[in-house]
Structure 1
Amino acid sequence: MRDLAHSADALSRDLLDWYDVHARAMPWRVAPADRAQGVIPDPYRIWLSEVMLQQTTVAAVKDYFERFTRRWPTVTDLAAAQDADVMGEWAGLGYYARARNLLKCARVISTERDGRFPDSYEELIGLPGIGPYTAAAVAAIAFDRPETVLDGNVERVMARLHDEHAPLPGVKPILKAHAAALTPQHRPGDYAQAVMDLGATICTPKSPACGICPWRAPCRARTEGTAADLPRKTPKKPKPTRHGIVYIARSECGDWLLERRPDKGLLGGMLGWPGTDWEAAPSEAAPFDADWTPAPAEVRHTFTHFHLILQIRTATLPAGFVTEANQELLRRHDFRPSDLPTVMRKAYDLVRDTLC
């Protein structure tokens, strides 16, 4: 029986053998058999997928990725895109700062690097919006560099493999050291994807399938019967609840009044309904004087750090209404609810039958 006293090379070989048979098919991934035949991953597709996957699931990302790459098949195509078009395609994925940084990074690569991604961690991490995880993932997967990729799946695998009971996030450096010790020089890109696949499909948060795991023999948590309890996490503080009001208005001919949010902050740069700040007890701040009608239902939405409850007011735009600098009057034929961020689309869905 192999245990952790055996070589890291042997453990990585076992995992790669498993991956060669069980690798998940993804639209941005080069399958291990194709890679063995010399097919090279497209760094643009790897980078785009990794940015999209932050704080999001593979299932949620696939359709977005395929739409993006159909519309902007290369990084130079994305760099030339209109900001509003990109933000509209991103709507629903959340964490909108990622989309703004996506454009910044694409434009740096297009204008300063002739459309070519750098192939080292050190250069990648200097690009807009690319942090340690993304730099390691792109360097490993796209360029086969032996970088240590540490996402939530890998953290869970390492915590169980080594039976680490110290809680996250404090234990991250220890888990990264364990992961680095296992990262091979041979096929590091496939290995990075293999260990993430292992966490996503076998070493899952609940009910891990230890009986079919390629690392079942050396896994200390399996031996100790603690796998289901790991990784431990420091308890989170309860999320506060904030409140706000959104104002949804249409003209007599069906045009919609929308407001572009500031570039910085939540939903930065996105079009949405005019509204109040989100705070404990918001005051009315209608975008124009009108007989605003309260909607019977309210929006409930959860962000990373707080819950949000939004009241909805509706009205008809007065004749001759003039928009302010941050407002747009969108013609009904140009209005696509899918372009709205999720919280704003929820508000629209609640009142659309009374306004359309």
Structure 2
Amino acid sequence: MAGNSIVTLDEEGKDAVGNTGKRVCVTGASGYVASWLVKRLLHSGYTVVGTVRDPGNKNKTEHLWRLEGAKERLKLVGANLMEEGSFDEAIVGCEAVFHTASPVLAAKVIDPKAEILEPAVQGTLNVLRSCNRNPALKRVVLTSSTAAVRARDDFDPSTPLDESSWSSTQLCERLQIWYALSKTLAERAAWDYAEKNKIDLITVLPAFVIGPTLPRHLCSTASDVLAFLTGGGEKMWRHGRMGYVHIDDVARCHILVLEDAEARGRYLCCSTVLETEEFASIFAARFPSLPIPTKFENMQKGGLYYDYDMSKLRSLGFNFKGMEEMFDDCVQSLRQHGYLADAI
């Protein structure tokens, strides 16, 4: 399976011989990033098999069925990260798999191993085992996170972090940074399995994702942004420094590394890195009527300065959307869903 070429579709979703509907699987299809990826894939002419916990749950899936091309080229299949073989039905016959499904982080973690770490690692391995049983498979694209890169205290702040960087599992455990630990362990497990089983694997590591949300219900990321825009969410934004990326850039990046036969390894996906107060000031200046906090009394002090080297992704011809578009699309989407007043 490793090394097989990927057919690239043109803007109308057709390959060189005019065929459409290359079959791919997206795990966790109803999620924030995954929904946007499904939208992009359908727009590009792919046939998409999406996995969700319950295909009959309209509250979780109705936004997917509203997407252009969904009725003709979308299929939803039930699957559970912790059930061995439950992804077989969805993955069989697919040329590529986008593994975006990840454990949902609760506000309060009681048992991090059972709630976050095991589902992240075992879920990833369950998906890859299903991939390994699919003779049609050409490539797997796994959604990791910059959290698997930046949680470390042993780097030179004058040298940007790149794809060779990994978060320290010891540091994550000591500081109880469970999300970063889960992403790091899951990605490392994926690379180990892919190498042993000769699976052509690529990982995409997005920064904090901002932009429009397709489902009416907000995921934790979108909820944090909404809290920030409405004068709250201070706890979430005390990190001091963070990378940000438009959700459409994340989706486009996933498709690019699938379609580019020369793509290999890990790809950071981040358009800009800002201090929280700088990020808040830009947002507040763009939307002065919103009660956006610009001072953070409990801000973490003494945090390490870092930046990201985005040259690897840019070498594939990738260009990021601007900060203004990221902010505008985010606010417009929250207005459309009724979370922000139209007059704002």
Q: TM-score, normalised by structure 2?
A: 0.24
- Whose helix proportion is higher, 1 or 2? 1
Q: TM-score, normalised by structure 1?
A: 0.24
